[in-house]
Structures are given as C-alpha cells and as structure tokens.
C-alpha cells in the first residue's frame, strides 16, 4: 500500500515539466578509469597529436616525453566509426548540427525531425559544447570529436560514429588543440 506522503511526492513530480525533472536528476557517475588523467605512452609519440583507441574508449592528447592526457570517450556503434588518419581543420564553440543524409536514411525515426538542423546550445544538439572537425586533405570526413549532452554514454559504443567526450572535458581539449593537429583513430 502506498503512503499518503509517497502519493503526494509522486503526484507533484508528475506535474513538473520534463526539463524540470531532468535538472533535478543526479549527474551520472562516470567510472574513474574514464576520467581525464595523465598517463605514460610510447616515448616516440611527439607532443600535439590526438590518438583514439575506439575499442578501449580512450582519446589521448600527447604531451611529449612519453606522456599524454587520456580522456574517456563514447564511440560509434560497430561499423559506424571513422578509422584512419585525419587532421583538425575547423573548430567550433557550441556548434550547430544537422544529421547527414545517410543518418536520416538509416534511422528516419530518430533523425528526420532534425533534418533542418539544431542550433548550438540546444539541449538536443548532440555536438555539445565544442567540436573539432576531422578532414582528410580538403574533404570533410563528416566525423567530429565533440562534446555530448549525454555523459552517461561515455565508455559505450552506440552513436553514429563521432568521438564524444563529456562537455567539461572537450572544452579543455578544445582549448589546447590547434587547427592542423593530426588525429589517428584505430
């Protein structure tokens, strides 16, 4: 049997708009291994490169002298990831987002409603606070290293293929990564 107090609490919560409930929800607990930390890497790696290990859900920003900052990431679902070498050709704070035609074709129920795009800062914009745009030559790969409004996805593989960090972490990385930075994804 439900108590009067439990009933009143449930009733008052049900009357709140969904965004109000979201603001009162606890921040998801991210495992310590996925939090930023300085780690040792191969000493031959020069400073100023990004290395992504999709399988391990880590991004490394090399510092030189055998050190790197390691960040936990979310990656794309199997078969949706970029692999290879690219460079950061563009950066954006609070970037706008439009799903690609192939994303809309593959999952129209998810992406068709956003075909006109979402402005930067919109709560549903999957690019989050910052984005690093990956290019090969002059061609945009359509893959990004970006923030996410869904921090609970860090350490998982299920997105359309971009490399995602918590918004707080991508802001730090963004401030350190210059245009032209080489990116290696495996």
- The residues that bridge with 133 in the sheet, in sequence order, are 90, 144
Residues 6+ apart with CB under 8 A from 180: 87, 88, 89
Spot the catalytic one: 51, 57, 122, 162: 162
Nearest alpha carbon to residue 129 among 137, 118, 120, 138: 120
57 close to 155: Cβ distance less than 8 angstroms? yes
Q: Which of 51, 57, 122, 146 is catalytic?
A: 146
60 close to 184: Cβ distance less than 8 angstroms? no
What does the alpha-carbon distance between residue 126 and residue 64 come to, in Å, rounded to a whole number?
A: 32
Among 55, 59, 61, CA closest to 76: 55
Q: Is 122 assigned a catalytic role? A: no
* Catalytic residue status for 51: no
Residues identified as active-site: 146, 162
């Amino acid at each position: 049997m439900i108590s009067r107090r439990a009933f009143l609490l449930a009733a008052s919560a049900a009357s709140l708009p969904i965004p109000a409930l979201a603001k009162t929800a606890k921040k998801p607990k991210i495992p310590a291994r996925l939090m930023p930390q300085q780690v040792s890497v191969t000493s031959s790696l020069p400073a100023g490169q990004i290395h992504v290990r999709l399988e391990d859900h880590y991004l490394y920003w090399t510092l030189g002298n055998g050190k790197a900052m390691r960040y936990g990431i979310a990656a794309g679902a199997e078969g949706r990831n970029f692999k290879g070498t690219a460079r950061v050709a563009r950066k954006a704070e609070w970037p706008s987002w439009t799903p690609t035609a192939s994303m809309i074709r593959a999952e129209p129920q998810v992406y068709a409603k956003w075909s006109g795009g979402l402005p930067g800062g919109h709560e549903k914009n999957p690019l989050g606070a910052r984005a690093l745009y990956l290019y090969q030559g002059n061609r945009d790969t359509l893959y990004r290293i970006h923030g996410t409004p869904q921090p609970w996805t860090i350490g998982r593989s299920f997105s359309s293929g971009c490399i995602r960090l918590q918004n707080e972490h991508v802001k730090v990385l963004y401030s350190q990564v210059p245009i032209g930075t080489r990116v290696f994804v495996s």
